[in-house]
Structure 1
Amino acid sequence: MRSFLLFLGSIFINLVAFAQTEANPAVWSHEVHKISDTEYELVFTGKIMDGWHVYSQYTAEGGSLPSEFTFEKAGEDYELVGKTEESETITEYSDIFEVDETFFKKEAIFTQKIKLLNPEVNQISVNLFYQICKEVCIPMDHLFQISLDGSTFVAENKELNERSVALGESLKVDLKNKHLLNQGAQMDAEGKSNLWMIFGLGFLGGLIALLTPCVFPMIPLTVSFFTKHTQNKSKGIGNAVLYGFFIVLIYFLLSLPFHLFNSVDSQILNTIATNVWLNVFFFIIFVFFAFSFFGYYELTLPSSWANKMDSASSKVGGGLGIFFMALTLAIVSFSCTGPILGGLLGSTTLAEGNVATNLSAGMVGFGLALALPFALFAMFPAWLNSLPKSGGWMTTVKVVLGFLELALAFKFLSNADLVGNWGLLKREIFVGIWIVLFMLMTLYLFGLFRFPHDGPKKKLTTTRKIFGVLSLAFSVYLILGLFQVTHLKLLSGFPPPDFYSVIETESDCPLGLDCFKDFEEGVAHAKAVNKPILLDFTGWACVNCRKMEENVWSHSSIYPLLKDEYVLISLYVDDRKELPEEERFDFKYDSGRIKAIETVGQKWGTFQTINFNAASQPYYVLLSPNLEILNDAVQYVDVETYGEWLRSGLEKHHLSMDK
């Protein structure tokens, strides 16, 4: 079970890396060797990162996909002389496909001779399709643009068909007063404090991790080591503080790889957060984390890692030795900290903003919470006497964390359900599952059932009873929300939206408002009724969009404006519903890059990018029926700011009508 989970974890890391960077662990180059006036040798070289491999053209059928070259205009402008030759390969038996697979490691070199049929040809294009693998296999394409005479390659402009050109042009709208958008979308203190929120979540996670059996017993042991095995007290305190600093540093370093993944296009972060299968993967891994906390199995990193780090700390000594001690703690405590860190990673994925920066803030908060006790108790060793003794209460903490992991898991499954339009996890079903989870947690806290790693049954402590009552109260709150006795404002953004319900409603728009999900239809209606437009760029899996709808739009000072004064156009940029065949097309950016528009979300995401130079959600724009921008754009703001913004736009619309 442990090895399977580590395998899943490695797949996840690679999926996130690819999703965030669109990077390629193989870097390709080419050379041209002239043999005669009409014959050339083309050499294609791929430098492959450690741990990755690329498959041969001639790997066995029934296994992974082979590399494949497509020589454009071969047979017209030139002919291939012989087969494409390869450099040295490796052949190994695949247990998965049960065939011998042939592949390259570190470097792949392909050589192909060609003979010109048209002597005027001086450049050719060659496309390479290949699979690159490291636990997970990713299909890739690389286009070689080759000049035979050494001149600069002049790419031919890809001709879009007339339908693509027409549909692409229809995405561009003639906005008036577009300079207002250059003021930048307003963000209130919530947007600016997002890092502090993530830091706080990380710190809270670290405090909880301290209470687990993997970490808590280490506090007195480690502090005693520093205070008793040093020449003087001040040096012992200094070493303990350094130990704490290294703990913070180690967890911060874990977030650094995400900062290297910044070569993204405007829609890639949204694509990650709303990717159906990535959310399903999160769901699966969080369920596994939960059952590890329930005691059915234990997640640990290889024991050899901890042994090597412990040995290094003994041999090296000094500051470097203390660093290895901190690294040993991080490794041996993984079975308890790993699932909590997974929850932190999930929180950064759900939060708005830069994923890497959010994760760093959370990791620093987590490491700081873990490090503080070691430094503080070293300074004040008498405090160690006030620490509670290790015992069964720590097992209770792990089980409670298991229930919370399960609850979070269903949030990711809900994201996949919403984006995929599966209709499986409607709002009532989601809330019902949470009710069951928190009722089970309540029963556990009151001792009505037990898990495998629970110790002998003892009298319930007052603390456990208090948390049992809190869990019961939250369950009742969920039940009242399920039957719409109260609104679940404490959970804004977590459950599916109100209109995603098992009960058929007249409107599939937030709060029962009338809305349009097509821009042109909405503009036509706005012209007919002569009302301004609230253009709402949103997403099915956008947490802050739900918070705005449930906490701001629902306010008594906002809702009447949306209902009576504006025409609402809601465009879902993460909608994976495929467009009808006749509405699919290729869109060409000014840079020359061509993007296939095949889903509703791709259409509206591209629409937002090219017209408003923005890619985040929620993103709100006020327009007149004649597409005059009435105000600067806003995003996640408070009720007062949003109300003033709406009223200002309405006033400008009325003034323009009077002219």
Structure 2
Amino acid sequence: MRKIFVTLILIVTGALVGSAQIVNPTTWTFDSKQNGKEVDLIFNASIEKGWHLYDTYLPEGGPIATTFVYEDSTLFELVGEIQKNPAPEIHFDETFQMDMGYFGGKAALTQKIQLKSTGPTEIKGYVLFMSCNDETCTPPEEVEFSFKFNQDAATQAQTETSESSATSGSKEGQTLWLFILISALAGLAAILTPCVFPMIPMTVSFFMRGSDNRGKAIRTGMFFGLSIVAIFTLLGALFSVGIFGPNVGSILSTHWIPNLLFFTLFLVFAISFFGAFEMILPNSLVNKTDSKADKGGFIGAFFMALTTVIVSFSCTGPFIGALIIEAVQHGGIRPLIGMFVFGLAFATPFTLLAIFPSALNKLPKSGGWLNSIKVVFAFILLAFGLKFLSNIDQVYGFGILNREIYLAIWIVVFFFLGLYFIGKIKFSHDSDVPYVSVGRLFLSIVTFTFVVYLFTGLMGAPLKSISALIPPPSANSYVTASATSSSAHVAEAECGPAKYADKLHLPHGLPGYFDFEQGLACAKEQGKPVFVVFKGHACANCKKMENSVWMNPEVLKMLEEKYVIVGLYTDDRTKLEESEWVTSPVDGKIKKTLGKKNLDLQISKYETNSIPFHVIIEPDGTEHRMGVTFDDDEFKAFLEQGL
């Protein structure tokens, strides 16, 4: 049994190691020394062996020098030049045919400044740099920094800790923590389903029977919990190790087969939760694992965990499926992390009750309340399952399930959910509701309020808070028809008709292009920078950004007047002419659709397949990059960089 468990751990560890694909040879940490108003800002670079970092000054015509960009330079004055320890080594660069300074190994770059105030001051900005070896260079990268001075003691201690761990993935970290929270909540919610909750007393009693040794029962109970976590994590690991290829997220979110399958599964689960039938896995599978659980000890605990996972799948399936879909679209080790957290939250109640069995007496008894939770899940599954049909409709351009029809269905579904809360609807397995409890009353108020909010969307409201879950306004929508027509006119007036504009459009009536080369050619003709966004019809974060930060009036004005916009859909199924086919440098395959061509461009050129992904290309070729953000000021600052 121990060999099995060790094998599971090795598989998970291998997934973590095997998922690292993006090269990041230079890492930064930040420190400071203060003496009154005089401050030393210390930028420490750690460079992998065989790589080098460019100096802070390079001759004109060379690559990008290491640069420190300050958000608000009015807070201080620079004192002298940057001190470099060690001094950069001078080498002749064959590519640029000039002498340039390099740093290798470690470098400490110190900038002395004079603060203009004795009050609390925060100096923020980012380091812009490139790393190279003898064969290749990384794209220009930005790492944010933040120094705080004149804080109270507690705040200063916290600040020093955060400064020493600054990384370029701060925004990604925030979205990852949100995903972890959702995974944990999904694991806890699964406990309350009728398939799982009644199993708690049964499984806990398994560890107490036939033994007066409570210590042994606790050990087997903890191993039972760890086994559940390992089983769920193994499922996540299969999607993290890359055996399904780098485009699995795009395939799952855009191809009609998986989307139709997921919609069908959500619909079947919803009908089952409404009480039409019970979903039961084959008895032979359950009986085999259950019989091995009777062996006792660690082996019995493991197979008891496996039995619990299998039996509970008829209720946990929708939670697991939704997590996997969300995780694989972002790539990396998210599936593994998500399923680990889900399994941990799911197993914790079992493990705690095995350690403290007396707490079983305080648990509510199984009854009608469990079925009510199941029915509520059914309504939610019915609503969210519709998104998979919407993905098919948007990616393939059918135009059947548009925004208005989608919202109308949601309004009806959640209206009936509100009626269920107040007891106006009853299903076959429901208990009588002689009166409306305070809890049901408040839930009905929340639900009916949400229905009214959805109704405003039919009147043209953007519905920012749920924009990631619903279709965007279409070109045929009465809300955006005039904006779309003016957009096409502007685009044609600038550089001629945009390719694929007959089926693709940008949000908020913005003019733009949908072909990378055509957009670059127009920008060169107009002398403007290019704003490239890799996006998708089925991308939730893309829609959310477009209906939040893009709607900022200053952002819209900059995009429309200062940039040539290029929207590259990575999931579009438009067939390309044979002359436009490209052979991928990544996998060697021929890309015959617009979406596959754009996705291959993103992976090969920018080494990522995560969307939305934004690139600003200035007229001189300088590039700025950004992933997903919902911070208006951050996105606006990103656009201002390109100007």
Which TM class, normalised by the smaller chain length?
0.5 to 0.7
Instruction: Give the direction of change, closer, same or farther, for the CA distance of 1:321–1:411 in structure 2 (3 Å limit).
Output: same
- Pair 1:362-2:362 in alignment: no
- Cα separation, 1, equivalents of 2:325 and 2:427: 26
**SS of aligned partner of 1:568:** strand
Match of 1:181 in 2: 139
* Paired amino acid for 2:550: W
Query: Partner residue of 1:298?
Result: 278
Give the 5 Å matches for 1:546-585. Answer: 546-579=543-576, 581=577, 584-585=579-580
Amino acid corresponding to residue 506 of structure 1 in structure 2: A
1:342 has 2:325 as partner: no
SS in 1 for 2:330: coil
Shift of 1:555: 2.3
Structure 1 window deviating more from structure 2 (387-396 vs 559-568): it is: 559-568
What TM-score do you get using the length of structure 1 for normalisation?
0.65
Q: Is the 8 A contact 2:582 2:592 kept in 1?
A: no
**Structure 1 residue 205 corresponds to structure 2 residue 199:** no
Q: How well do the aligned residues superpose, as a CA RMSD in angstroms?
A: 2.9
What SS does the aligned partner of 1:191 have? helix
- The residue that corresponds to 1:281 in the other structure is 261
Conservation of the 8 A alpha-carbon contact between 2:208 and 2:214: yes
CA 1:392–1:361: 2 relative to 1, 3 Å? same
Amino acid at match of 2:364: P
Cα distance between partner residues in 1 of 2:195 and 2:439 = 21
Contact 1:352–1:544 (CA<8 Å) still a contact in 2? Answer: no
Q: Which residue of 1 aligns with 2:451?
A: 475
What amino acid sits opposite 1:183 in the alignment?
Answer: E
Alignment of 1:619-634 (within 5 A): 619-624=613-618, 626=619, 628-634=620-626
Select which of 607, 632, 636 maps to 1:639.
632
Alignment of 1:487 with 2:462, yes or no, is yes
Inter-partner Cα distance in structure 1 for 2:334 and 2:434: 42
Give 1:415 shift: 0.9
Secondary structure class of the residue paired with 1:407: helix
Please list every run of 5 or more consecutive structure 2 residues that lacks an aligned counterpart in the other structure: 1-131, 145-167, 485-504
Alignment CA distance shift 1:360-1:458 (3 Å): farther
Determine helix, strand or coil for the equivalent of 2:627. coil
Deviations 1:50-102 (A, max 9, x none): xxxxxxxxxxxxxxxxxxxxxxxxxxxxxxxxxxxxxxxxxxxxxxxxxxxxx
Cα shift readout 1:570-624 (whole Å, capped 9, x = no counterpart): 1212211223x4x5454345689351x4322233334444544543322222123
The structural deviation recorded for 1:193 is: 3.9
Partners in 2 of 1:296 and 1:387 — Cα distance?
28
1:393 CA drift (Å) = 0.8
SS in 1 for 2:548: helix
Contact 2:483/2:508 (8 A) holds in 1? no
Aligned equivalents of 1:347 and 1:589: distance in 2?
A: 26
**CA drift at 1:566:** 1.5
Q: 3-state DSSP class of the match of 1:534?
A: strand
Higher relative contact order (CA 8 A, sep 6+): 1
Equivalent residue of 1:255, what SS? helix
**TM-score of the superposed pair, with normalisation by structure 2:** 0.66
Identity fraction in percent: 39
Of 226, 250, 259, the match for 2:231? 250
Cα 1:590–1:487 shift into 2, 3 Å: closer
What is the DSSP-based 3-state SS (H/G/I as helix, E as strand, rest coil) of the residue aligned with 1:535? strand
| Selected match of 2:409 from 433, 441, 447 | 433
Q: Which of residues 330, 333, 339 is equivalent to 2:309? A: 330
| Structure 1: tracts of 5 or more residues without a match | 1-176, 651-659
Q: What's the offset of the Cα at 1:294?
A: 0.9
The 5-angstrom pairing of residues 375-386 of structure 1 reads 375-386=351-362
Mean Cα deviation higher: 206-215 or 182-191: 182-191
Q: Does 1:353 align with 2:331?
A: yes
SS in 1 for 2:625: coil
Amino acid at match of 2:483: E
Q: Partner letter of residue 325 of structure 1?
A: M
Aligned partners of 1:309 and 1:615: how far apart in 2?
A: 40
Task: Please list, as runs of the form range in 1=range in 2, the aligned pairs for 1:10-409 lying within 5 A after superposition.
Answer: 181-183=139-141, 188-227=169-208, 229-262=210-243, 264=245, 267=247, 269-314=249-294, 316-349=295-328, 351-354=329-332, 357-409=333-385
Q: Distance in 1 between matches of 2:605 and 2:143?
A: 14
Contact 1:446 1:464 in 2 (8 A): yes
User: Of 568, 593, 597, which residue of structure 2 is paired with 1:599?
Assistant: 593
CA distance in 2, matches of 1:586, 1:268: 21
Supply the distance in 2 between the matched residues of 1:319 and 1:180 (Cα, whole angstroms).
Answer: 49
Q: Relative to 1, partners in 2 of residues 1:460 and 1:592: Cα closer, same or farther, differing over 3 Å? A: closer
In structure 1, what is the Cα distance between the partners aligned to 2:585 and 2:457? 49
How many correspondences in the alignment? Answer: 464
Map Cα deviations across residues 305-338 of structure 1 (whole Å, 9 max, x no partner). Answer: 2222222121x22111111111222222222222
Q: Distance in 2 between matches of 1:535 and 1:373?
A: 47
Aligned equivalents of 2:445, 2:608: Cα separation in 1: 46
Q: Is the 8 A contact 1:573 1:601 kept in 2?
A: yes
* Alignment deviations for residues 154-201 of structure 1 (CA, whole Å, 9 cap, x no partner): xxxxxxxxxxxxxxxxxxxxxxx9968343899753422444333322
Partner of 2:399: 423
Change (3 A) 1:203 1:612: closer
Q: 1:472 to 1:536 in 2, by over 3 A?
A: same
Quote how far apart the aligned CAs of 1:377 are. Answer: 2.5
Q: Which residue of 2 aligns with 1:502?
A: 477
Using a 3 Å threshold, how does the CA distance of structure 1 residues 348 and 608 change in structure 2: closer, same or farther? Answer: closer
